[in-house]
């Protein structure tokens, strides 16, 4: 359904127990849906595999997208993939990795302290 939706601009899926398989499905939908610009995935169970799938979508999809996914199970491995995606496609991605809030936009990488 998300692949065909032409009107949805923001999707908030916080606290839905989404894991890597859900992140992969969302990533695949983002590859074909140019309208969804803001995706919120905080407080889920997404790990590095899911983060990499989302990173692939953000790297090759619509420029200028926004992704927020604090409080998941992403380690530095997933963080590196998301950071590379932000650099490649002018995306803004906020993610938490082991208590550190990280926000990156294009060439910036900012640590906002512990949460």
Distances (CA, A) of 11 to 36, 42, 54: 7, 12, 14
User: Under a CB-based contact definition with an 8 Å cutoff, are residues 70 and 101 in contact?
Assistant: yes
Here the CATH number for the domain that contains residue 66 is 3.80.10.10
Does pTM top 0.85 for this prediction? no
pLDDT tens track for 28-63: 999 888 888 899 999 999 999 999 999 999 888 777
Number of domains in the chain: 1
Query: Is there a domain that residue 2 lies in?
Result: no
Query: Is there a domain that residue 15 lies in?
Result: yes
pLDDT tens track for 65-92: 888 888 899 888 888 898 888 888 877 8
Query: Is there a domain that residue 77 lies in?
Result: yes
Which range of residues forms the domain containing residue 107?
Answer: 11-28+36-114
Query: Is there a domain that residue 1 lies in?
Result: no
């Amino acid at each position: 359904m998300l692949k065909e939706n032409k009107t949805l601009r923001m999707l908030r899926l916080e606290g839905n127990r989404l894991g890597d398989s859900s992140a992969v499905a969302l990533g695949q939908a983002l590859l074909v849906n140019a309208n969804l610009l803001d995706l919120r995935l905080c407080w889920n169970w997404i790990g590095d595999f899911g983060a990499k799938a989302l990173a692939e979508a953000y790297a090759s999809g619509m420029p200028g997208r926004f992704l927020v996914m604090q409080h998941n199970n992403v380690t530095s491995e997933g963080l590196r993939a998301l950071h590379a995606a932000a650099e490649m496609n002018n995306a803004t991605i906020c993610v938490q990795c082991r208590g550190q809030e990280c926000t990156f936009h294009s060439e910036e990488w900012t640590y906002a302290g512990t949460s």
